[in-house]
Structure 1
């Protein structure tokens, strides 16, 4: 008899992937199946194993990809098949996340489950906008309120008097469509027209937007600004603190929505550096690695060894150690295709030069790449993870990319070919985008591909890229 799997009902937090809990991240890493919502940052899926099944269960205001009943059934079906299942939900699963219904379905079939709390958007988004929801001088009470419910017209049936007179700070979730109704009822039941209000869209993302006003004028401002969900509406005197302690929007790359061409299956230090400085980063393509048997029979006969990527360094030395070979017998001079590759070699105690300085003398081996002019050693193979193509397209639809980064010449062609698999032409996608190249070789490859580069940083390092973008280049 097949053993029943376990289901983890996980809060993904409000958007910034750094706000996922340790327990939530562990659940993602061990999952066989993940059902994820629209508001769960898709970048969290990159922590899943390459063979994890990803199922989109997002909901939009005007349509449902999967209805709640179908989601419940899928959780049961996958768990009964012995799978470890993660239901990944934006924010906290217990705050308007319908986790109670999903847990009840699992309990009905005696399926073991755990509920992993997440940071709720109604608290996190205001903090990223510089507003604590409570403050000893302004607010001693706080309420979270759904701004739409199951009533026929979708307008919330609430204790408006209790909210207006009894609560200092109110966070309405997903309520932009009912903003006028909310303001009218709060004023009608006791809030002054001058009560501060802030709308926070895509809170904790680099594309976070805020709009300030009062109960008297915020609706007109929202219409003029074409403000839309997903957003938190925060009402209360504590909103006035924003001017003093706003911090996230002061980060040097706040507002940068960056598309980063990838050649590696591993995590990107550049992407992390950009996000740490306030940018949104979409990485493409997503790669998965296929291990191969590495033939090291003739490595001692070469005068030069050119490592094609940082990963090729790790894979090469892992194979050498596994075969218990004496690395001291390698007489070759080491070269790297990029500064990151050279750094990897340096970390292992080897001096190395850039490939640009490689002299065409002596017998050369390319490690982890291909070369028509010399021998090559394949350390691993990789292919585009096609399960991520529809995820990437949805990320593009939600974002407004304004910056493109090509970190190496090798990143250009796979990026363009990957876009074609999504039905997207690179020239069309990037026509109003600032294209940044990390080095002269990258710039030449971009130009050969028919894309106009806008510039490059002083050096091909993540620090130089951050400085270049922060300077407004």
Structure 2
């Protein structure tokens, strides 16, 4: 830090006996895709930094340690260094995509930053519903929350369960439920956790203002930017967030790269489609890696539910701690919060002064 006072700092070092020719180095935005390095002598460091428009955050190194620096640091030699990616948010895969891309040295912006909570249940009489259709996995999770809040025993339900997506089917399986996968079959109640849905919305989505600011800055230059859409769900979140954030104008500067043809059909009404390029291969591999990670968690959840069918307390990284009636819900919470390592700890739950 201290870039704004760099001239004063170097003057003081020189006044206290440091050599004018002593090597110095400034590293701006270290270990990110925006990293820049400027070399100079101690006497010329402030002027060189000003000419290069170096700003905080940055660190300054003075002395013989700078002889170790060659043409590029280990971070600058990473395959993705200097590249920037905008990836549309999807609740299942973005953590994997972001991590994989950042490990290559790339600068990654996932948009939008979303907090999702369940809405109140639209009915207390789930026993009377004859058929329920789920558009996505989040709709399933929040439906389970509603059943618990309404004190409904899921074993007594007579509703036929229908799903539109594979994710919804897998989520139901985590709760021991099976469903018919059908894109056209009508249902008495249709639920969706996606924004802008025409179905009964299960979820309230809050978009954090800082994510709107970060995206808008990417387009300040007026140049076109490439946005990667991994899933159909990611398109819904992206478009709805642009509208709510009042930055719809950026749509005119977006070239979209889609992970498959289904996503492309959904994107077409909103953004220009860009043919995949070499750089998009890295995003695709990262997306597939994230998808595999979720599938591994789903298998693990199933195995744990067999071993520990009773309520548990879950801890991930020692930071997230919660109590849940089902292991699946707690594990999903951990995955959504970016956990890649989860420890399941069975404990006695204490309520009203006695152990349950």
Query: TM class by shorter-chain length?
Result: 0.5 to 0.7
For the pair 1:208 / 2:208, whether they are aligned, the reply is no
**Equivalent residue in structure 2 for 1:437, among 254, 258, 261:** 258
Per-residue deviation, 1:202: 1.2
1:366 aligns to what? Answer: 190
Decide whether the 8 Å contact of 1:262 with 1:283 is kept in 2.
yes
TM-score (norm 1): 0.46
- 1:308-323 to 2 correspondences below 5 Å: 308=136, 310-323=137-150
**Larger RCO (CA under 8 A, 6+ residues apart):** 2
Quick one: structure 1 residues 275 and 159, their matched pair in 2 at CA, closer, same or farther if it must change by over 3 Å? closer
For the pair 1:448 / 2:269, whether they are aligned, the reply is yes
For the pair 1:409 / 2:232, whether they are aligned, the reply is yes
Decide whether the 8 Å contact of 2:31 with 2:105 is kept in 1.
no
Distance 2:8 2:126 in 1: 72
For the pair 1:297 / 2:151, whether they are aligned, the reply is no
Quick one: structure 1 residues 359 and 148, their matched pair in 2 at CA, closer, same or farther if it must change by over 3 Å? closer
Distance 1:348 1:242 in 2: 55
Query: Does the residue aligned with 2:146 lie in a helix, a strand or coil?
Result: helix
For the pair 1:160 / 2:14, whether they are aligned, the reply is yes
Distance 2:138 2:144 in 1: 10
Distance 1:401 1:271 in 2: 21
Decide whether the 8 Å contact of 1:412 with 1:446 is kept in 2.
yes
For the pair 1:425 / 2:263, whether they are aligned, the reply is no
Distance 2:50 2:196 in 1: 60
1:178 aligns to what? Answer: none
Quick one: structure 1 residues 252 and 263, their matched pair in 2 at CA, closer, same or farther if it must change by over 3 Å? same
**Equivalent residue in structure 2 for 1:234, among 53, 57, 61:** 61
1:348 aligns to what? Answer: 175
CA-to-aligned-CA distance 1:239-286 (integer Å, 9 cap, x gap): 343459944345554333222323669985543444455433323334
- 1:18-167 to 2 correspondences below 5 Å: 146=2, 148-149=4-5, 157-160=11-14, 162=16, 164=18
For the pair 1:306 / 2:134, whether they are aligned, the reply is yes
Per-residue deviation, 1:158: 0.3
Decide whether the 8 Å contact of 1:200 with 1:211 is kept in 2.
yes
Decide whether the 8 Å contact of 1:263 with 1:287 is kept in 2.
no
Distance 1:466 1:221 in 2: 42
Any stretches of 5+ residues in structure 2 without a counterpart?
292-356
Decide whether the 8 Å contact of 1:312 with 1:379 is kept in 2.
yes
Quick one: structure 1 residues 321 and 411, their matched pair in 2 at CA, closer, same or farther if it must change by over 3 Å? same
Q: CA RMSD in A?
A: 4.9
Any stretches of 5+ residues in structure 1 without a counterpart?
1-120, 122-145, 166-185, 468-473
Decide whether the 8 Å contact of 1:149 with 1:157 is kept in 2.
no
Decide whether the 8 Å contact of 2:129 with 2:188 is kept in 1.
no
When the two structures are aligned, how many residues end up with a matched partner? 283
Decide whether the 8 Å contact of 2:96 with 2:289 is kept in 1.
no
1:280 aligns to what? Answer: 107
CA-to-aligned-CA distance 1:123-168 (integer Å, 9 cap, x gap): xxxxxxxxxxxxxxxxxxxxxxx45549xx8675404154626xxx
2:330 aligns to what? Answer: none
Decide whether the 8 Å contact of 1:258 with 1:401 is kept in 2.
no
CA-to-aligned-CA distance 1:36-94 (integer Å, 9 cap, x gap): xxxxxxxxxxxxxxxxxxxxxxxxxxxxxxxxxxxxxxxxxxxxxxxxxxxxxxxxxxx
TM-score (norm 2): 0.58
Quick one: structure 1 residues 240 and 445, their matched pair in 2 at CA, closer, same or farther if it must change by over 3 Å? farther
